[in-house]
Amino acid sequence: MSKDTLTRGFAAIDALTAEGRKVTVVEVARRSGVHRSTIHRHPALIDAIAATRPTPTAPDRRTKSTDQDSAATIGALRDQLAGLTATVDRMAQVIQALSLDNDRLRQQIPDGVVVPMPRHP
């Protein structure tokens, strides 16, 4: 990359900034007449373009209404968890009962011969 290319790139960045326009690689390439792949190969130009962008700040979204909403959400989630826990307990009881029935039925079969049940359509 020649010194002239760098000079034109930096001049384009300065001109875009002075005009208040958004400084992007594409705009710098158009303004300077340098191909954008050339700009991407030079870290100093990329850093200069990135330096023109404002640093994003996270807005403070915590308010009283958000605290109340989150408390309601936590309560709803706890209710859901209690319901799911009860469902899991009932399913465990059903599985245990079916397992006991299965064992009892296997003991009733003579000689351990198991006849497969017909398939349902």
Per-residue pLDDT tens digits for 23-63: 999 999 999 998 989 888 888 889 999 988 877 777 766 66
9 burial type by CB count under 10 A (0-12 exposed, 13-18 middle, 19+ buried): buried
Query: With a threshold of 0.75, does the pTM exceed it?
Result: no
Q: Domain ranges for the chain, please list them.
A: 3-51, 64-110
Which distant-in-sequence residues (6+ apart) come within 8 Å of 48 by Cβ? 9, 10, 13
